[in-house]
A = this chain, B = another copy of it.
């Protein structure tokens, strides 16, 4: 099957598939007589695996590891599990960062009248010299 069919079935774009090939994340596709890439079902399986792993938050290099384990009959499932648990931690710390941001933003918004006038507590806070009594971080 041609690349666009493989794209449709894997959920990746054709561009992304070529890109993954170019960085060696998937093996080089075999070519038809016309020079087009030609994919088999098992190629699509690997592509779908990647699509899922990426959507689940794994980076390219982590996908490379996962794919290596996927292809390795000698793997230990504990190894796979630890990659996943490590990723959970990373995702959780990202969540915490974003929550802190959201709290700061909400605090800023709550202090601003949001009217026709030019005075704005948000701008005041953003320009405040660190160390002045603003307590922005505390989300009061």
Copies in the complex: 2
Min CB gap A74→B, angstroms: 7
Interface size on A, residues (CB 8 A): 55
Query: In angstroms, how far is the closest chain B Cβ from the Cβ of A21?
Result: 19
Answer whether residue A77 sits at the interface, using C-beta atoms and an 8 A cutoff.
Answer: yes
User: Which of B80, B92, B114 is close to A112, meaning CB atoms less than 8 Å apart?
Assistant: B80
- Which of chain B's residues have a CB closer than 8 A to the CB of A99? 95
A residues near B, CB below 8 A? 11, 45, 48-49, 52-53, 56-57, 66, 69-70, 72-78, 80-82, 84-85, 87-88, 91-92, 94-95, 98-99, 101-102, 104-106, 108-109, 112-123, 125-127, 129-130
Q: Given A75-B118, A88-B106, 20 other A-B contacts at CB below 8 A?
A: A11-B130, A49-B127, A52-B126, A52-B127, A56-B105, A56-B126, A57-B104, A69-B123, A70-B123, A73-B118, A76-B118, A77-B114, A77-B118, A77-B119, A78-B116, A84-B108, A85-B109, A91-B98, A92-B102, A95-B99
